[in-house]
Amino acid sequence: MKSDLRGKDMVTVQEWEKEELESALDVADHLKREWAREEWQHHDSLTGRSLFMLFYNTSTRTRNSFEAGINQLGGYPHIMTPDQLQLEHGESARATSKILSRYGHGFAVRVLGAAVDFEYPKGTEIVREYQEGADVPIFNMQCDKYHPFQTMADLQTVREKKNRIEDLNFTISYAYAPEVRRPASVPHSSILGFSKMGANVTLAHPEGVELDPDIVDAAEDNSDKYGGDFDIVHDMEEGFEDADVVYPKHWVSTKVGERGVEAEKEIHDQNQHWIADEEMMSNAKDDAIYMHPLPAKRGYEATEEVMEGPQSVIYDQAENRLHAQKGVMALTMGGRGF
């Protein structure tokens, strides 16, 4: 029996019950199978329904997978940037989402990084302001704290490749990049989502690029509740050891705003050996999969051989953005058929 998810927001996977996440992943799998059929035609579960999508930052995967996804469900995407709205005129986020709720059936927003001067967690606070005003489901398309739809796609990908999530050894690791621009939203959402699904989560990073302690505490609580282990290590090899899934990526500490970019960069430059190359991969299980949400700094975070190698599932992850988001939209935006 699927949960009734009509009207539910997705700001973070932590605000969804495990069974609710599983329902959305089941629908995502169903829609993916439909999409793969040669006689595929668009679904009519969201016919006549609009999704308003507001981007403070650029995007390849998120924008195009949401846009294609709502179309494939019979609905319509409205793509907006802040300068096209009356925000500069002083209209609040709360009023904006309240008004757009009168015109459509969902409101999605991406806001992080330079758009909020790296002032963590200002991006999340802005998403919450839109959420307060909205009378339709709010979707967080990435803020400085969370990237829930990346994690939904990642959960779907791991279920496909390993047939389960529970009890798998899942390692999310810091990886070096010469710029200090990537937020911690993917590792945050990964440790929340995979701990909730019962994986054994290992978080690997150098000293100085810690995640938000509140998120780490929440992930540890998930592990206690759902039966997995949760470990933090400060050595990449140790993190990769015996892993079924490795997910090495760059992130900046949540302190970058107060430290300043130059001070943050000094910490990262001391950790250039945190790279997923073939030698590092050999610490994981032979059949381990390599994940990255993209875009990546190739040659820094991971070598070309690893990114394009037989263990890599990066393009499946990118594809599953489409299917996972369709699963959530179909269940929450009040459509028919699920």
Task: DSSP letter for 211, please.
Answer: P
CB of 294 to ligand CP, least distance (A): 5
Binding mask 45-74 for ligand CP (x = CB under 6 A): --------------xxxx------------
Distance CA 324, CA 153 (A): 5
Binding mask 160-199 for ligand CP (x = CB under 6 A): ----------------------------------------
Distance CA 307, CA 302 (A): 7
* CB closer to ligand CP, 58 vs 270: 58
Q: Which residue in the set 101, 124, 150, 202 belongs to the binding site for ligand CP (CB under 6 A)?
A: 150
CB of 62 to ligand CP, least distance (A): 3
* CB closer to ligand CP, 138 vs 267: 138
CB of 111 to ligand CP, least distance (A): 13
Site for ligand CP in 274-313 (CB under 6 A): 293-294
* CB closer to ligand CP, 96 vs 142: 142
Distance CA 3, CA 220 (A): 25
Distance CA 276, CA 249 (A): 9
CB of 139 to ligand CP, least distance (A): 13
Q: Which of 330, 325, 338 is nearest to 153 (CA)?
A: 325
Q: Which two tokens stand for residue 239?
A: 């993190």
* CB closer to ligand CP, 267 vs 291: 291
- Rounded (10°) angle between helices 185-196 and 213-226: 20
Torsion on CA atoms 236, 296, 165, 32, rounded to nearest 10? -170
Q: Return the ∠ at Cα 147 (arms to 175 and 189), rounded to 5°.
A: 70
Binding mask 73-112 for ligand CP (x = CB under 6 A): ----------------------------------------
* CB closer to ligand CP, 50 vs 150: 150
The region that residue 251 occupies, defined by phi over 0 for left and psi between -120 and 50 for alpha, beta otherwise, is beta
**Which burial class, exposed, middle or buried, applies to 43 when counting CB atoms under 10 A from its CB (0-12, 13-18, 19+)?**
buried
Contacts of 233 by beta carbon, 8 Å cutoff, 6+ apart: 202, 203, 204, 239
Q: Does 157 bind ligand CP (CB under 6 A)?
A: no
Q: Which residue in the set 131, 140, 142, 222 belongs to the binding site for ligand CP (CB under 6 A)?
A: 142
| Contacting residues toward ligand CP, per CB under 6 A | 59-62, 142, 150, 293-294
